[in-house]
Structure 1
């Protein structure tokens, strides 16, 4: 069912009584005094609360009566009639609460959603009262402990069983499916629709600590698994393959649930040789290899999206153990990526979609882990390309801080770690070039330009040594920029910039202008000549094809120049 315009968050409200409506209608003048009525002077009776489905208020009223009879006045022995009335009211309330619970997956009005929210609050009040009685030496009434939370779980378990026994979703394509396939598909659709309903509506009726979404997910998983086991006895090959595929997806879901459970409990992933590890990728891959099944697009899409949602939730919540989980996930992403590339178990479109999701997960993990690093390095970035950078050895502080952060970034597999710090090296190099091209330092003569040349070359070499990577291209970019600073001959400067622009067509006219402005001994006419010649040469020599991008990440302040001097996307 669909609840259009339903506001589950306002579930604690209840409709006005007839008397209240009459009062509202009769009060036509702001100066007219409201008559004293039952609605605004006396609390509703227990029966009135039940009629309004205000179960929380009804429960509190019964608890107050219970405390009065058994704790405050000790009238329970003498006033058996009051005790019997209280017991009867408690029984009536309980029946109403279970009735609304049984409608949890078929709520059709805002009032019913409000009633469910009130029932959940009532259950928690009863749990609190049970706990108080456990701490009290007096003899409790016959209905204590009421154990409503336990009964709540049992009611919902029966509800789920009933939904899976009699799914309301239409049976699938009977022509192309066996009866077993159609039955399982129907149960699967019911499961999906019900869990979506839980997330969109039922969840709003429960406090977060009751974790109702995971409760329902476990119930459906257990029930669905049990149904599969019942029909697995005698099936043909086609049905067997179909069942195995469903069993695989259930197992995969269970693996992911275990990872979520550890996350919710605040546990860090286990370590193996100093690296955080998660069983998600290993277990899922082993099951897929074992069954050698052709997984349907919808099924693998569902898993990969669930995994991505879990991954992004870990990042969003940013708990103390988030970094450990993300490092473990990076290793999983790498395993999944290698598996998809090496094994032909999926259609091409499915594989490409999964690889795209895995790439997004890797990028979000890198951003999450590296953003705090750049925040720490920012004070050192600010010294780059300044007079202090030229006169003093300020770059060493950036190197030392970066080295410390490299230690903190460890924890994923070696190859995942190398990818991560390779990304950091690229981002640090981008920031280095951006700060240099801001032009805070003025190289007024050949001597200063020679000094800047040596510093940039030394910085490039030390950065390369620090990261210990094979990304020679990043060092070469800085070396080429250093050469432009060193050269004094106009044609030589032109050739050096053409060499840089040929390798990186995303080098823009703005970048060239900023680089030349560092050499303040160049006249405006010289700069115009160099820029014009470089622009023409690169346009003529550009042949297209894939090239590595770098300068498009070096964002300059002025928007007046074209994106790249070759007018290409690289």
Structure 2
């Protein structure tokens, strides 16, 4: 077989031929420059030897470089071969481990059963340990009551704390296991704790009320009361910061009650008693001792009245707490005119303070009420913040949320919050209607802020792919709104929006495909949208029906808004009658499919928009548009212009008539109308470019 002749270098490397020509040209140029005279030829041998040495040096370096490169390639190949062998060994080991795990699956099932048995055993063991304490509860009740009667407050409080700890441990275990029905039985069994707490609290406040006397005569009892109050405050702080379950009656807030002005209350009570007593003496005795024209009873009444007014103003200059402000308002506006004081039967009818100036001017009453509202607001904020922290700690556990017997998520937080707000409103109603209204407005503001704070920690969760998790984490704001019968409707709106923000994130990528030629020719776009909404609707079924209906309505409005937004902002101009008919058919199919999903009327806007596009005679557009803007008064000229552009067959004259008709029939949004077009911004058409003294292009 003849040996293969290697191809010429320039066939394998086309650039070599060009390089060789350039090198030869450069060499000839150099030689002609060096040997242009005959005497220069004598040095030809010298130049030849020098170039030969240079070529040898270059070839030597090339060989050295190539050899080094080949050695590196060889080492790399060896490493790759070694790595391939190791990978093969690892694959074999993983396969063996997989089979070993599959063989051990049955053993794992057995271990799972053992774990359940162990948990049950631990629970039963803990129950057995506390049974003696449970059986002795009522005996301890009697002993605590005896200690309280003997004013052995520290000993009584120690045993009371032990019983509360026992009750709270049992309730916490039931709460963690979702056995809410059994909690009522436990609370009934420990119902005596409420009476003991009230009896202890009554003694404490009697001691605090006599603190000025006790600290002078015998401070031991007063110090005992303070120690008990400090114990309860530490228990409150621990439960609010660490516990996942807030026991009934907590927080007690006894330290705050300690500072709620018992001295002021006693001072006002003394004023009430002394004033009635002195005026009774004036009426019954002094009047008979002076001439009638002295009018002594009226003069004394006016003098006392003015002195009391000045005295109340002096008290108000102090930094009173909310309880002190409440007591002062109650005394000046209710007690002063009541039958217990200036309306006392022994003073009537001769004493009549209604003819005098008010004890507190209307301006001073308004200022004091505002101060009281600010104090209550600060207290409400602090209480809500602590309560929310406890709720979130419980809610972000790995376990499923607590549910009722119907399978709905439930939380005691809404009822607790609304009860606290309603109590403050009811307390304010005892003074004046204006104070009640101020507290009511404050309660609404704090409730709205509370809803905002409850949603903030959930904001990072809006990107979660699992809508079930969102249904779980959004239940706080939803349930609080539903538990507020007197709340503003906007609060429900806030809650529903927080529940549908994740659905918006899922729908936006789908709406990017609308409109398009692919969508026009037929696609599963709306079908995919329906699947997304249906999935969220199933996950939100864990909330009760009124809120579920609200969320579904918000989702429906969201779908209609996103659909119309995509259609108007990325408008598609129909090029022919056939394409316009195809667009009308697609709109009809989409709207029908979406309406079947929601079974409501918010999607009628798509049907009405379709009628504008499907109208065969453009000359009738002005009448059709008039009906459209009457039904949807928030639609603008830009929206109608965009719809006319989508038709693709509307002349300038018809467009002018339509827009002129809209200008002649301005619309007013009726009460309760839910805007749908006003939130959709469409591109503003470019103005024609005009030259001075010329016509517009």
TM-score normalised per structure 2? 0.40
Q: By percentage of residues, which structure has more helix?
A: 2
Higher relative contact order (CA 8 A, sep 6+): 1
Q: Which has the larger radius of gyration?
A: 2
